[in-house]
Amino acid sequence: MKRALKLCVAGMLSLVSVSLQADDEATFRSEYPHRMELSRSGAAEFPAFPTRRRGATSNRVVPLSDSDDDFRREPVVREEGLDPFIPAPTPRAVVDDESERIKVVLTGRYSNPATVRAVRALSGRQASELFAEVSSKIDERSLEPTSYDVRVRRALRNLGLALDNEAFIRGLRISSDSFRTDAFRESLGRLAGRMTVRNRSDAVAVMNSVMKESERVSGLTASVVAWEFALASLDTLDKFSGLDPADPDVRRGAEADGWQTAALDEEIVGIGVEVREHADGLLVVKPLKGSPAAEAGLRAGDVVTAIDGRKIAGLKMTESSDLMKGTAGTRIVLAVTREDGSERTFTILRRKVRIWTVNDVRMLNSTGTAYLSLSRFSAGSTAELDAALESLYSRGMKSLVLDLRGNPGGLLTTCVEIADRFLPVGTIVSTRGRLPADNMVEKATFARTWSMPLVVLIDGDSASASEIFAAAIQENRRGVVVGVKSYGKGSVQTHFPLNSIAGDLRITTALFYSPNGRRMAGEGVNPDVEVSDRDGVANGDRVLLEAERLAGSTELLSMARSAARVRPADPAKPRSAALGSIADPVGGRTAVH
């Protein structure tokens, strides 16, 4: 009886052992889908699944560096619940920080329906040509180009993590077959371990190998691989470099519905409303002047909760914004919750809408203090400003408060033109880059210069061209700056036309410097008088109230009189030809539809 019991127990243990061995791979894959190791050099590697072998040692082999064939052995520290034959993980903080950043980038990229449509419309040839174009522009023009080894390793990491990214899988209809995706990841690991990438030819060779391996994963086409190689190359640069493909569902020209940044357009097709992300949908920042949204009665502070019957709570702004798009003459139905909790429904007809950038022009008091808000630096902003200033002057303007709060930038050409309206002499801005064409100094030309006392308002959302203008006024002692420290975007993005696809490629090619030679990237502009409105409008607009007080000060009047007496010593020089291609990828937290 005892012998029979022992045999029975032994048989059960054997079955458990076989079952555990068979389940090792499935368990590993389900619990550690993102498992990666980093060599001491910091390069990412994608290890193949470690298969259990009889008599396997509990040591693991770790390369000292990517280029070193020497190895060292480390004892594996068993973590509770982990198989002792599975290599110990890299310290999770090292892997997770970078992995989480990549996941955020991928989610943002493939949550944008317009981007997904563009990628799905790409042919393999187009995508390969796009990679070549992007690579060439980075090599030739990027202020700080990365090596091809860095770019390719980022592409491999992107693709490895993308296979577990819901937005990527759903948007591009990628197979969720874990066995096939795990096999593809193993192939990425083998490539990362043995590749040597010194130039573009080496990078193309790796990309072609990945294309071949991707055939085993349904939906992971050669065009998707090449697209991600191109975008991953841009991911290795600064956060302002990037690529916005044209939406294939949008007709260019008169029917363009605003996929471009509103800062660069004077006209869109839509309902004319600026919105930003909100927990319950989209928050109306403001309806544009003279727009269908304004005529229908939409107000700042309204929350759009549904579009054409579809609830949008929880959607990313790119997804919600996509639902707002449409051609001229079509209707959109918006469900709106007002600030008082009441609910309204608006049916609005889309049409062409002029985007005005000079807003809220008025006199603040009877002593002649005028107010003007500039939301962006677009192509038509200079003419708008000129008209507004003439109007204010006819109404008795003696000093001016120019509000750049929330202004994310725009065209550098426009910024220089507007600064020229207030500066009789002096440097406005300079840029420095890799090429001689990226180095320029723009000075005031005394063209139609106004000499009234000037106060400029800024906040943390005032960026790029706004900061250039504020620094020019401040450092030339033409006026005072009031508010809080600005954003600190002091880099130049040059926009390049593409031959392979329709879209906008922007690459950082230079940095901005203030009139005093101060690097502005990451630094921003510190106001002369710091005033915060953190308590909202409960106590009124304290920044504006302080600006109104300063506008009548003797110090500001003295600055203005000094500026009025100055005349340029040298004749004006023509503007740099490079100005026209420099613009900001404005859009940021808000979108206009």
The 10s digit of each residue's pLDDT in 98-116 is 889 999 999 999 998 989 9
20 falls within a domain = no
Contacts (Cβ under 8 Å, ≥6 apart) of 395: 363, 370
157 falls within a domain = yes
Domain count, the chain: 3
φ, ψ (nearest 5 deg) of residue 459: -150, -170
117 falls within a domain = yes
164 falls within a domain = yes
Mean pLDDT value across the chain: 80
- With CA atoms as reference, report the closest residue to 526 among 583, 465, 475: 475
What are the Cα distances from residue 132, in Å, to 135, 138, 330?
5, 10, 40
pLDDT at position 106 is 94
Query: Stretch 107-134: mean pLDDT, rounded?
Result: 94
The last residue of a domain, from among 218, 237, 256:
237
Task: Name the residue with higher pLDDT: 200 or 19.
Answer: 200
Whether residues 391 and 481 share a domain: the answer is: yes
Of 123-137, 245-259, 459-473, 524-538, the poorest mean pLDDT is in 245-259
pLDDT at position 249 is 78
- With CA atoms as reference, report the closest residue to 112 among 318, 304, 310, 292: 318
Whether residues 438 and 584 share a domain: the answer is: yes
Residue 91: burial class (beta carbons within 10 Å; 0-12, 13-18, 19+): exposed
Q: What is the pLDDT of residues 190-199, one digit of tens each?
A: 999 899 999 9
Whether residues 319 and 406 share a domain: the answer is: no
pLDDT at position 49 is 31
Q: Is 60 exceeded by the pLDDT of residue 90? A: no
88 falls within a domain = no
d(CA 475, CA 515): 6
Q: Tell me what percent of the residues of the chain surpass a pLDDT of 90.
A: 55
DSSP E strands in 218-297: the ranges are 242-245, 267-270, 273-278, 281-287
Whether residues 402 and 317 share a domain: the answer is: no
Residue 590 confidence class, pLDDT cut points 50, 70, 90? low
Whether residues 455 and 571 share a domain: the answer is: yes
Q: What is the pLDDT of residues 349-384, one digit of tens each?
A: 999 998 899 988 999 999 999 999 999 999 899 999
pLDDT at position 270 is 92
- With CA atoms as reference, report the closest residue to 18 among 64, 43, 54: 54
Whether residues 350 and 437 share a domain: the answer is: no
DSSP 6-54: HHHHHHHHHHHHHHHHHHHHHHHHHH-TT--EE-TT--EE-PPP----T
Task: Name the residue with higher pLDDT: 286 or 418.
Answer: 418
Q: Is 60 exceeded by the pLDDT of residue 386? A: yes
d(CA 304, CA 456): 33
d(CA 144, CA 153): 18
d(CA 417, CA 449): 10
Q: Is 50 exceeded by the pLDDT of residue 45? A: no
Its domain, for residue 544, covers 358-592
Q: Is 70 exceeded by the pLDDT of residue 21? A: no
pLDDT at position 286 is 85
Query: Stretch 410-430: mean pLDDT, rounded?
Result: 93
Query: Stretch 174-193: mean pLDDT, rounded?
Result: 86
Q: Is 90 exceeded by the pLDDT of residue 414? A: yes
Q: What is the CATH number of the domain that holds 458?
A: 3.90.226.10
Whether residues 471 and 427 share a domain: the answer is: yes
d(CA 98, CA 45): 13
Q: What is the CATH number of the domain that holds 306?
A: 2.30.42.10
First CA to last CA distance, the chain:
83
Q: Is 70 exceeded by the pLDDT of residue 15? A: no
Whether residues 510 and 457 share a domain: the answer is: yes
287 falls within a domain = yes
Of 160-169, 251-260, 377-386, 556-565, the poorest mean pLDDT is in 251-260
Residue 19: burial class (beta carbons within 10 Å; 0-12, 13-18, 19+): exposed
Q: Is 50 exceeded by the pLDDT of residue 427? A: yes
Strand 369-374 to strand 399-403: parallel, antiparallel, or no bridges (unpaired)? parallel
The last residue of a domain, from among 302, 327, 354:
354
Task: Name the residue with higher pLDDT: 420 or 315.
Answer: 420
Q: Is 80 exceeded by the pLDDT of residue 584? A: no
Whether residues 373 and 393 share a domain: the answer is: yes
d(CA 203, CA 195): 9
555 falls within a domain = yes
Whether residues 311 and 460 share a domain: the answer is: no
Strand partners, 306: 311, 335
- With CA atoms as reference, report the closest residue to 108 among 588, 593, 584: 588
- Classify 544 in phi/psi space as left (phi over 0), alpha (psi -120 to 50) or beta: alpha
pLDDT at position 483 is 96
Contacts (Cβ under 8 Å, ≥6 apart) of 220: 163, 172, 174, 175, 184, 214
194 falls within a domain = yes
Q: What is the pLDDT of residues 273-312, one digit of tens each?
A: 988 888 899 999 889 888 999 999 999 899 999 999 999 9
The last residue of a domain, from among 307, 335, 354:
354
Q: Is 60 exceeded by the pLDDT of residue 320? A: yes
d(CA 164, CA 198): 30
Whether residues 213 and 280 share a domain: the answer is: no
Whether residues 546 and 456 share a domain: the answer is: yes
